[in-house]
Amino acid sequence: MSVGRETRLSAWIERFAAHFAEEGIPLIGGRILGYLLVCQPVERTAAELSQELEASSGSISTNLKYLVNVGLVTKRTRRGRQAAEYRINEKAWTDFIQRKFDAIASVQTLTDDGMRLLSGDPERSMRLRTVDKLYGWLSEELPALWERRPAAPK
Amino acid sequence: MSVGRETRLSAWIERFAAHFAEEGIPLIGGRILGYLLVCQPVERTAAELSQELEASSGSISTNLKYLVNVGLVTKRTRRGRQAAEYRINEKAWTDFIQRKFDAIASVQTLTDDGMRLLSGDPERSMRLRTVDKLYGWLSEELPALWERRPAAPK
DNA sequence: GATCCCTTTCGGTCGACACTGAAACTATCG
DNA sequence: CGATAGTTTCAGTGTCGACCGAAAGGGATC
């Protein structure tokens, strides 16, 4: 007997969360992301997420705040509804990746400063130069690559 | 009265270590990296690093092991010398970055699996599709970009 | 204004991990 | 085969952060 689609989806959500946990996103935050990517209907309240993901209301609140803050999740309040509704903001995923690229490219300022401190000592700055060159190249190419990214569909 | 070059270099090392601490590398590991990038002479023993960075021998040992393991530092032993000498392996920095790229591209397999689970339900898979497309593009472009990376000198 | 429902805040617990320093281990030299 | 110099292992400590659940906070309806 085969397992149902929903069961497999929740296993998928767990894998999804595990991946982002390695990148420093709290497990529950990752679960929220994965869940909001595939749930039907697309909008959920904090209470529903708490029940569905078996996490405390506090954890859900903290993580939603974080996710809304970085833009990956959107909060919507409606008149006549006490509960706010949350949904994935899949278009913000590009910003999420861009921040990663920026983090990589930002090392270049660091290596650059180091090179300045060692100026006039070519012998000693050889090692740093190799690293600086690499990051210099990256901080040229990554933004250029990013320009060519495909437009998100409406 | 201006501060000496060595003083400014140790401040730089601290900034360097702080950056990589945000990426999950232990502070002492980052200090070792920064220090080995600019020290003169280029090779140091564990004992010297311990003294210079004011870290316990245990921490130095653990972190050197880790850094040697990921290839960023090279260990050299010599006959007639009881102390091993460590030096930066600046050429391995490319692998270090490539691992980051691989981590990003690997999400594509995840989103892909998710898409398969939702196959036959285009309505529901819309959100995931947007993310999947983005990672699909990245896992095409990042390796291609990497091919064009400048060769390390010597 | 009172009640209800949902969300956020907050104190507390738990586990993970960086770090330390001493003890065990290894290799070199006399 | 000591003696010595250096490195690694390991148990213990402290810190940090994720998570929980209860209490406080804030709207909405009556």
Q: CATH topology for A5-88? A: Arc Repressor Mutant, subunit A (1.10.10)
Residue A87, pLDDT above cutoff 60: yes
- Is A127 an interface residue toward B (CB < 8 Å)? yes
Helix (H, G, I), strand (E, B) or coil at B88: strand
Residue A60 C-alpha, separation from nearest chain B C-alpha, in angstroms: 21
CA–CA separation, A132 and B109 (whole Å): 32
Q: Which residues contact A92 (CB under 8 A, 6 or more apart)?
A: A70, A71, A72
pLDDT, position B4: 83
Instruction: Identify the band that residue B1 occupies on the pLDDT scale cut at 50, 70 and 90.
Output: low
* Residue A26 approaches strand D within 7 Å at CB: yes
Cβ contacts (< 8 Å) between A128 and chain B: which residues?
A: 37-38, 90
Tens of pLDDT, residue by residue over B34-59, are: 999 999 889 999 999 999 999 999 99
CA–CA separation, A106 and A83 (whole Å): 40
State, as a whole number of angstroms, the distance between the CA of A135 and the C1' of C25.
Answer: 41
* Chain B residues 19-38 within an 8 A CB cutoff of chain A: 19, 22-24, 36-38
Residue A73, pLDDT above cutoff 80: yes
The three-point CA angle A125-A129-A132 to 5° equals 135
Sign, CA torsion B111/B114/B119/B121: negative
Tens of pLDDT, residue by residue over A53-67, are: 999 999 999 999 999
Q: A5 or A2: whose pLDDT is higher? A: A5
Q: Could you tell me whether strands B85-88 and B73-76 are parallel, antiparallel, or unpaired per DSSP bridges?
A: antiparallel
Residue A127 C-alpha, separation from nearest chain B C-alpha, in angstroms: 6
Tens of pLDDT, residue by residue over A97-141, are: 999 999 999 999 999 999 999 998 999 999 999 999 999 999 999
Region B67-73 average pLDDT? 94
> Buried (b) or exposed (e) across B114-152, using 16+ Cβ within 10 A?
bbebbeeeeebbebbbbbbbbbbebbebbeebeeeeeee
Residue A128 C-alpha, separation from nearest chain B C-alpha, in angstroms: 6
pLDDT, position A83: 86
Instruction: Identify the band that residue A77 occupies on the pLDDT scale cut at 50, 70 and 90.
Output: confident
Picking from A113, A130, A140 by the largest number of B CB atoms within 10 A of its own CB, the best residue to mutate is: A130
H helix or E strand, kind and range, residue B11: helix B5-22
Residues paired with A136 in a beta bridge: none
Region A62-79 average pLDDT? 93
Residue B80, pLDDT above cutoff 80: no
CA–CA separation, B66 and B45 (whole Å): 16
